[in-house]
Structure 1
Amino acid sequence: MIMMSPCVSVILMVVAFVNGARIEDDIQSCAKVQTASAVVPLGSPVTATCIIRDDCPLATGQDVQWRLNDRLIPGISVASDSGRIYKVAISDFNHTRAFLTCCVQASPIQVVGGVEIRAGYPPLAPQNLSCQTNLTTPNTLTCSWDPGQQETHLPTKYTLHTKIWDSNEKQTYELPTGLHQYTIPRSGFVFFSEMEIYVKAVNELGEATSLPMVLEPVSVAKFDPPRILKVEVVPKRYGCLKLRWGLSPHQAWMHDFRLNLEVRLKTADSSHWSEQPILVSQVKPTRPVDQCRLRHGTEYFAQIRVRYRQSPWSEWSSSQSGVTLESAPTGRLDSWLKVSGDHTHKQLTMHLFWKPSQQFRANSQNVSYVVSVQKLPAEKGKLCSTPRNYCTFQLPRKAKKVYLSAVNAAGKSSPTEVRIYQIKRHTVISEIKAIPRDDRSLLVQWRSVDASGLTGYVVEWSPLLKTDPSFIQFETADRNQSSLVITGSFEPYKPYGISVYPRFKDGIGLPQTVNAYSRQRAPSMFPKMRMKKTWQSHIELSWDEIPLDQRNGIIQSYKVFYWGENGPVNAVNADTKERRVILKDLNTMTLYEAFIMVSTLGGSLNGSTIHFEIEPFDAVTIVMIVIAFGVGLSLLIIFIVVTCFSNHKRLKGHFWPIVPDPANSSIKKWTSDSAQEKFPAWDKKESNPIYLSHLSFLNLPMKLSKEEDDLWSNSAEDTSDLGESICGSPFIPGYSGSNSDSVPYATVIFSSPCCSPPPNEPHVYLRSESTQPLLETEESFSPKCYQNMASDGMSREQCFFGPCDDCIPEEGANTVIHWDDFPFLQALTMNDTPND
């Protein structure tokens, strides 16, 4: 068994009562609910009466209640002869639809009667009634209106009423519910007959009618876009164009009617139509229209639209172009002259740019420009002739100004004088910045450190990705200005170079330049990092600059993120100009990952991840170790070499003993290096020296005795301590030539150094024997006699190395040998020694 809640059962009972349903045909209703109206204005009071028969079994011994939907409302009971009567009063009925029921208190509650009450508003009069005639096939008249802002909450019917005055024919058109427009067929109206039209709205609470509208259907017709057949030049009329036009084929039958026409124009280089169209009233389609007061020699695009009396304007026609008659250019040109080159050698190059001023009129489609040193253009003084907006030429000698003129087929303009300015090598502008305002304009701001002598500024800009000078644009500013709004077709995400030049009476100062973007975004590509070098716990990462066309904005920062295995993520900012970072305090034998993030004001882009690892001994460390080892080894070698050279005599004598050579013995080599240093000058005076190998000096305090002499001469093993012997002829007993086993040598022993004054005691001459074999010689050796000087000044002859036959002087010959011829022997005084 399905159980239902009391509320659901009440609603079902009410619906059954409203629809007049019966459970059984032979059972009559126990109660009847009556109201003044089932539809009432919203918010108005409502009263109802419930009449219950006395024999109703449901109401026997039960109290009666009123319910509005599921809400209990108080009521009163009135006794009568026919049964019981119960009334209820609702002071403010604020439901758009509700069920009022009469119930008895049973278990569950029983509904004995009920009624549905609806509430709303009466309709408002329709507003803004308008109609429009369609002149295309099929011809119709469509009218629409506004039902008003207030909702009625009740079904409202609208009807359209028409009345043709000429025939007094009336028509009523019923509209579906909720529809607020209706299209009258062609049979319901006449194009050129006035008719009255109004709309009526009706619902259960009342009706309302709109204001009637009287119209001629053709006067509310919207024409199809007309056509411009041809745009012609008006002969001998400068600045005039003739427009021939017509209606569309569907409205061609109205060619004799006078229509209103509007014309709008624009030049070929403009993107905007004229703000105020030109109105031509009461013109037939067969009559052309003249448009004058146009620029000479200028191409214009034209469009037209039409209407009949106060009908809606048609859509604009398609565009057609025409060119007015040419005339000579008028007005002046704005110019900007830049100077480059070598001022010292006066090899200057002029870069002249120009643009039309607000007063300039080219008056032609084909205009060229001539730069000349003469005021009147001529071939002789012409510097250049070009259809473009710039010219480059060499500065003529002694030229102070040039002249710029515009030329077309009809003539030439008055020349614009351009003075030649020199470059002033000092900076006036200290700071410049460019702020984008929108896609078509930038605000340029600058500061001047010294405004004395300034006459103004020149702001120049051009796209950095286009090198053609024709893209260079400029604007002039007053000396009191510090900002300027430049406009143009700035492309988003493309770089522009902006320069501000100070202008003086006698020259142009150095500029300040800044790069700018009208709109920025993240770069299109990221830089690729590479490892430049590693050392110890550091690594240097570097990257190349992003190409200018891929930046999409001004690079604000480079940030490198890196992390090791299971380590935190670190970030390092890099200088935007150096484009490198050094990662410090890295662990060896640890794998690291890193990537770079490049940012502009419009966004950021992350690069790809790279991996690197710090080796225990990197290349730098190995190189440093090798360098340190090499430096130490070099210092050791240098020390050894220096030591060897400083003691080379001692080392040489230790490893390679010096053996006297009698064939080369001479006084030149009697002494060691110490002795040679004491006789440097006069030693070179000997004309034909015979070298002696070595001369030993002994400092003897007293004269050696004969026994000592024998001791020296007989001790062969001790003679090595006396130095090396003098190389001379061995004239001693026992000398047998080169085949003998021993050869006598002589040692000269001084009692004091040779540089000291001559001693009183005579020098001692010793002989010694050496086992060193002499060099064999075939020549006989006979010693020469040398003369010692006696103490009394008299000279006497004495043979060195023993007696000889040559000591006897020849007759008639000068046998005196002077000591001056033998300076080294001059220091020696020998005594005769026995030969045994």
Structure 2
Amino acid sequence: MISTWVSVIVMLVASVNGARNEDVIQPCVTIQTSGSVVPLGSRVTATCVIRDDCLLGTGHIEWRLGDRFIPSSPVSSESGRVSEVVIPSFNHTREFLTCCLQASPIQVVGGVEIRAGYPPEPPQNLSCQTNLTTPNTLTCCWDPGQQETHLLTQYTLHTEIWDMNKNYTYKLQTGVPHYTVPRSDFVLFSEMKIYVKAVNELGEASSVPIVLEPVSAAKFDPPKILEVEAVPKKYGCLKLRWSLSQHQAWMSNLFLNLEVRLKTADSNQWSEQPILVSRVKPTRSVDQCRLLHGTRYFSQIRVRYKQSPWSEWSSSQSGVTLESAPTGHLDSWMRLSGDHTHKQLNVHLFWKPSKQFRANSQNVSYIVSVQKLPGEKGKLCSTMGNYCTFQFPRKAKKVYLSAVNAVGKSSPTEVRIYQPKARVMISDITAVPRDDQTLLVQWKNVDTSSLTDHVVEWRPLLKTDLSLTQFEIIDRNQFSLLITGSFEPYKPYRISVYPRFKDGIGLPQTVNAYSRQKAPSMVPKIRIKKTWQSHIELTWDEIPLDQRNGVIQSYKVFYWDEKGPINVVNADTEERRVVLKNLNALSLYEAFLMVSTFGGSLNGSTIHFEIEPFDAVTVVMILTASGVGLSLMIIFIVLTCFSNHKRLKGRFWPVVPDPANSSIKRWTSESSQETHLAWDRDEPNPIYLSHLSFLDLPMKLSKQEDDLWLNSAEDTSDLGESICGSPFIPGYSGSNSDSVPYATVIFSGPCSSPPPKEPHVYLRSESTQPLLETEESFSPKCYQNMATDGMPREQCFFGPSHDCVAEEGADPAILWDDFPFLRALAMNDTQND
């Protein structure tokens, strides 16, 4: 915009202040420069001259380059209206230089536009190609150079046909570095010179000319292979018959250059270096030898004329060389399974061709035998595949593997049967993908001194076909292997490394690997397994292997309530459970599960749950604690009662004396006055015999009461029988009687008091409580009493008994002397009588 206005100002000044001289308008201001187009960065000089007769203002002359003032130097003149300026380096591709008078405002009196750039470079890499399809054309292209000229550059294509002495020049479009010459301007079999010229305001340049025959610059159509067949009586040779395309068949007499490339049927790669056949006509077949015997080959060809570009490769055709017997040995790998203790082992034998093995046939079968020469007797299996399974042959330490075809068989490969060893030699195995078709397997070895080699085995996990198992045998000192193959993305592969010894195979280390990973295809549903106060346990199922799409790296549970922030808990990949703690009761929570692999993550569905203030677990814990406390209290009470059972028994169940089994006979008058401290399990406690007490009565019982007492014992022969409740008493019915008479002896004082001075009496009591009874006999028992000489003797009391016989010469009075209480009763009885 500034440049436009400057041009307008210069034109106005020139038109208004110009002077007419012989009908020619002379400008008032003249600017002279070293050039309007200069090389970029070069020196530029300019001079401004103002005519004296022009009616312009007065003032000092100044220079401006664009909107910036630049210093100038005045030129000596009488009027002082001449000025010169020098620009040491012009670094603008396009800019206005103006001459001004210093006034208020500044007056622009003249100006000029200066452009800068570079001269063109010679065009590079000129090449031409002839198109033989209808219509025929010749297309040339080139490289204009890397440097920008900043100036308008014009390109032209020049051709010279020497045989016809014709020259053609073609003006090219700006910025289009190619041109197509029409068919009328060239001859296929006549040489011509071709070059490109570039021209701009600073100069011109031409490319290096090329001389060519248009047909030699032609790119032929892909040829066609007519047939591939084996050469008779030549092993490893194939004959190829071919022709040009239908549109180029008219050039079948030309001598062309031919290239052939081959690959076997089981290979994915073509031969690295194609086979060149020079100067061959399309009507002539081509032989290819030094090939494998009995092998199917796919072949492709391409052609060119002299130095013309190669045609595209033809379509593939296959052929099979002549068969011969297999040669070389096979690489094998054996894995055992089954019951090792009973030697019931299944042998899985895998094999593959070694680098030296040649099948030399399309139909090859393999025989595994216990004999070196394969026969029906020792044959274990025969298959067309690359593996077989057979039972472990007893006493066999090796088997033999042979390849057989219609022509013959190979030399047998000896395969040793390795026993499994429970030895761990491999650790830290990893498998990292390098690309979609390559996995790098690495591991560490504990000890390599006893190893012979390593075996790396891999197979797809989602397929059970054993024929897909691949293996590689590597040196014992090698701890990595780059395995290649057609690995499917997002599918798991199991890779195992086995250590192999001279006498067996050690335990493998295994890892699952993916050539490429992505997010899982599904996320398992979260389940609530258990809840308790402020805690909840969540669990989920394992993702199916075919939907993982990679190695599971983490499970993350996101949960939040209505008001709180989002919390994240990481779960163990093996346990697949988390426990959410410190949850608020009566708050509604939401949660979802995120599953991640190296290839991405996927979120599952959201669940809702709420924590009750008292859940079933809390109630059970409270009831359990209460029950345990109550049980402990009951146990404590019971133990306390048992510790004082004799005292409690005396309170609730009083002990009734059984005179029939009493030890009162052994009491003496002296011992009865002392407190008995001994405890006897067989005898009643003397304390309980306090029921047999003596009381002093102030008056004599009445005659009626006395008779009642006496009448109740009319059939007794002794006082003891009335006390004991003898069964001979009329009306006695044993323990089932409603009332059993017994006597309570009343003392005037405790047992430890002195003997009473007054005679004692006894009373008969009618009690409803049954007396202790003996089941053995109704007669009183005989008791042993110690005689004065220290020897025991038997004495009877409470009347005569047939079980007891009085000692000869014994005094009957001794019986009452030994029982002082009974003697007192006897005296009271006499008194009463």
TM-score of the superposition, structure 2-length normalised?
0.75
Between the aligned partners of 1:241 and 1:319, the Cα distance in structure 2 is 14
Q: What is the DSSP-based 3-state SS (H/G/I as helix, E as strand, rest coil) of the residue aligned with 2:452?
A: strand
- The alpha carbon displacement at 1:292 in A equals 1.4
Superposition map of 1:339-350 within 5 A? 339-350=336-347
Between the aligned partners of 1:514 and 1:373, the Cα distance in structure 2 is 34
Between the aligned partners of 1:290 and 1:20, the Cα distance in structure 2 is 92
Taking a change above 3 Å as real, the CA distance of residues 710 and 509 of structure 1, as seen in their structure-2 partners, is: farther
Aligned to 1:395: 392
Picking from 786, 793, 797, the partner of 1:763 is 797
Aligned to 2:298: 301
Between the aligned partners of 2:597 and 2:722, the Cα distance in structure 1 is 96
> What amino acid is aligned across from residue 158 of structure 1 in structure 2?
Y
CA contact (8 A) 1:446 1:483 kept: yes
> What amino acid is aligned across from residue 575 of structure 1 in structure 2?
D
User: Is 1:529–2:563 an aligned residue pair?
Assistant: no
Picking from 565, 580, 595, the partner of 1:583 is 580
CA contact (8 A) 2:595 2:602 kept: yes
Deviations 1:702-722 (A, max 9, x none): 9xxx99996744469xx9997
- The alpha carbon displacement at 1:377 in A equals 1.9
- The alpha carbon displacement at 1:254 in A equals 0.4
- The alpha carbon displacement at 1:262 in A equals 0.8
Aligned to 1:485: 482
> What amino acid is aligned across from residue 394 of structure 2 in structure 1?
R
Q: What is the DSSP-based 3-state SS (H/G/I as helix, E as strand, rest coil) of the residue aligned with 1:314?
A: coil
Between the aligned partners of 2:782 and 2:804, the Cα distance in structure 1 is 19
Between the aligned partners of 1:18 and 1:612, the Cα distance in structure 2 is 92
Picking from 469, 478, 495, the partner of 1:472 is 469
Which deviates more, 307-316 or 621-630? 621-630
Q: What is the DSSP-based 3-state SS (H/G/I as helix, E as strand, rest coil) of the residue aligned with 2:490?
A: coil
User: Is 1:270–2:267 an aligned residue pair?
Assistant: yes
Aligned to 1:816: none
Aligned to 2:245: 248
TM-score of the superposition, structure 1-length normalised?
0.75
Aligned to 2:416: 419
Between the aligned partners of 2:779 and 2:728, the Cα distance in structure 1 is 18
Taking a change above 3 Å as real, the CA distance of residues 80 and 205 of structure 1, as seen in their structure-2 partners, is: farther
Between the aligned partners of 1:342 and 1:91, the Cα distance in structure 2 is 98
- The alpha carbon displacement at 1:472 in A equals 1.9
Deviations 1:221-250 (A, max 9, x none): 111222222222222222222222111222
Aligned to 1:211: 208
Aligned to 1:56: 54
Aligned to 1:188: 185
Between the aligned partners of 1:191 and 1:117, the Cα distance in structure 2 is 49
Q: What is the DSSP-based 3-state SS (H/G/I as helix, E as strand, rest coil) of the residue aligned with 2:184?
A: helix
Deviations 1:604-663 (A, max 9, x none): 44444433333232212322344456667778999999999x999x99xx99xx9xxxxx
Which deviates more, 565-574 or 492-501? 565-574
Aligned length, in residue pairs: 735
Picking from 6, 11, 19, the partner of 2:7 is 11
Aligned to 2:677: none
> What amino acid is aligned across from residue 193 of structure 1 in structure 2?
S
- The alpha carbon displacement at 1:333 in A equals 1.0
Taking a change above 3 Å as real, the CA distance of residues 627 and 219 of structure 1, as seen in their structure-2 partners, is: same
Which deviates more, 101-110 or 574-583? 101-110
Deviations 1:122-141 (A, max 9, x none): 43433332222111111112
- The alpha carbon displacement at 1:9 in A equals 4.4
Deviations 1:564-583 (A, max 9, x none): 45345544443332222333
> What amino acid is aligned across from residue 417 of structure 2 in structure 1?
I
> What amino acid is aligned across from residue 429 of structure 1 in structure 2?
I
Between the aligned partners of 2:284 and 2:147, the Cα distance in structure 1 is 51
Aligned to 1:225: 222
Aligned to 2:752: none
Taking a change above 3 Å as real, the CA distance of residues 22 and 267 of structure 1, as seen in their structure-2 partners, is: farther
> What amino acid is aligned across from residue 272 of structure 1 in structure 2?
Q
- The alpha carbon displacement at 1:511 in A equals 2.3
- The alpha carbon displacement at 1:308 in A equals 0.5
Aligned to 1:135: 132
CA contact (8 A) 1:727 1:745 kept: no
Superposition map of 1:630-649 within 5 A? none
> What amino acid is aligned across from residue 362 of structure 1 in structure 2?
A
Aligned to 1:681: none
CA contact (8 A) 1:424 1:509 kept: yes
> What amino acid is aligned across from residue 250 of structure 1 in structure 2?
H
Between the aligned partners of 2:624 and 2:101, the Cα distance in structure 1 is 117
Taking a change above 3 Å as real, the CA distance of residues 566 and 78 of structure 1, as seen in their structure-2 partners, is: same
Aligned to 1:156: 153
> What amino acid is aligned across from residue 320 of structure 2 in structure 1?
V
CA contact (8 A) 1:6 1:108 kept: no
* Alpha-carbon RMSD: 5.0
Deviations 1:351-376 (A, max 9, x none): 11111111112222222221112222
Deviations 1:682-735 (A, max 9, x none): xxxxxxxxxxxxxxx999999xxx99996744469xx99978855569599xx9
Between the aligned partners of 2:2 and 2:264, the Cα distance in structure 1 is 82
Q: Percentage identity across aligned positions?
A: 68
Between the aligned partners of 1:756 and 1:750, the Cα distance in structure 2 is 18
Which deviates more, 131-140 or 32-41? 32-41
Deviations 1:786-807 (A, max 9, x none): 697465499xxxxxxxxxxxxx
Deviations 1:306-355 (A, max 9, x none): 11111111122222222222222221111111222223333222111111
User: Is 1:497–2:494 an aligned residue pair?
Assistant: yes
Taking a change above 3 Å as real, the CA distance of residues 474 and 32 of structure 1, as seen in their structure-2 partners, is: same
Unaligned ranges ≥5, structure 2? 664-688, 695-700, 714-718, 744-770, 787-791, 811-825
User: Is 1:442–2:439 an aligned residue pair?
Assistant: yes
- The alpha carbon displacement at 1:510 in A equals 2.3
Deviations 1:773-795 (A, max 9, x none): xxxxxxxxxxxx9697465499x
Q: What is the DSSP-based 3-state SS (H/G/I as helix, E as strand, rest coil) of the residue aligned with 2:221?
A: coil
> What amino acid is aligned across from residue 566 of structure 1 in structure 2?
K
Aligned to 1:574: 571
Between the aligned partners of 1:162 and 1:742, the Cα distance in structure 2 is 160
Which deviates more, 754-763 or 439-448? 754-763
CA contact (8 A) 2:558 2:567 kept: yes
Taking a change above 3 Å as real, the CA distance of residues 86 and 348 of structure 1, as seen in their structure-2 partners, is: closer
Between the aligned partners of 1:595 and 1:742, the Cα distance in structure 2 is 86
